[in-house]
Amino acid sequence: MSRRVHNGFTLVELLVVIGIIALLISILLPALNKARAQARTVACQSNMRQLGITLTAYALQHKGRTLPVWPWSWHPALSQNYVWDVGYQEFLYPWIKNKDVYRCPDRPDRSWVTRPRADVSTEGGFATDYAYNETGWSGSPFEGYLCDGRPIAKIRRSSEKVWLAEASNLAPERNGWQVSYSVDGFDGPNPRPDQRLNWKNFYNAPGCQFHSAVEKERHGKGNNCLFFDGHVELVRDSWGYQWRVEH
């Protein structure tokens, strides 16, 4: 007579296999999360490069002058200064129709500053994730700022000067859409050229309480920045001369 043998796993063997799988998951999960975070950082950098290409194209079509932004109502259809609901994003929209390009994929919330305006044919509803460098607009003494529409050719050391940077819009009082060095949010001094800066030295919401709008790092310990030569890099620490006009 033949004896039938049944092969199978015992309970102990199953528990061992489950334990091994759980161990592998615990080892691989941090690496997977890191890879996902890196992918979001790269996607954000890609967005900023597209914005840089478009901003440069705009300048080429306007005698080399960059797109000016707040605080001046430069558009001929706008009669007053300090127009809060029109951003640079809207004037790039003819070139970049995908509104996701204007926001960082590593940001959980969305905030908007622009609203539809018939007088300047703006669409509205753009994210405020990438802000112009407006350091100097409130500096004392005033020396000008890089977002005033000056020609790219006249920006010295363009590879070191920040054009756009990530801004978190932390202030509950107002949607923010600038990034600027400040010590008080109003008329404090500009940073020294040799001053080492971190993101707690910047704020991004005009007309609000300064300490409610101080910036935070979005990608680990840094934020992405677009420079006037078109390159993008993750900035953890920077220097005062990278944000100022005259240095």
Mean pLDDT along residues 186-192: 82
- Residue 124 pLDDT: 75
Q: What is the CA radius of gyration of the chain?
A: 24
Q: How far apart are CA 102 and CA 94, in angstroms?
A: 13
Q: What is the value of pTM for the model shown?
A: 0.82
Burial of 136 (0-12, 13-18, 19+ CB in 10 A): buried
Q: Where do the domains of the chain lie?
A: 11-242
Write out the two tokens for 139.
Answer: 């500096």
- How do residues 144-186 score in pLDDT, each as one tens digit? 888 888 999 999 999 999 999 988 666 655 555 678 888 776 6
What would the mean pLDDT of 26-38 be, rounded to a whole number? 80
Q: Give φ, ψ of 224 to 5 degrees.
A: -75, 145
Mean pLDDT of the chain: 81
Tokens, residue 13:
């063997």
| Both structure tokens of 10 | 């015992």
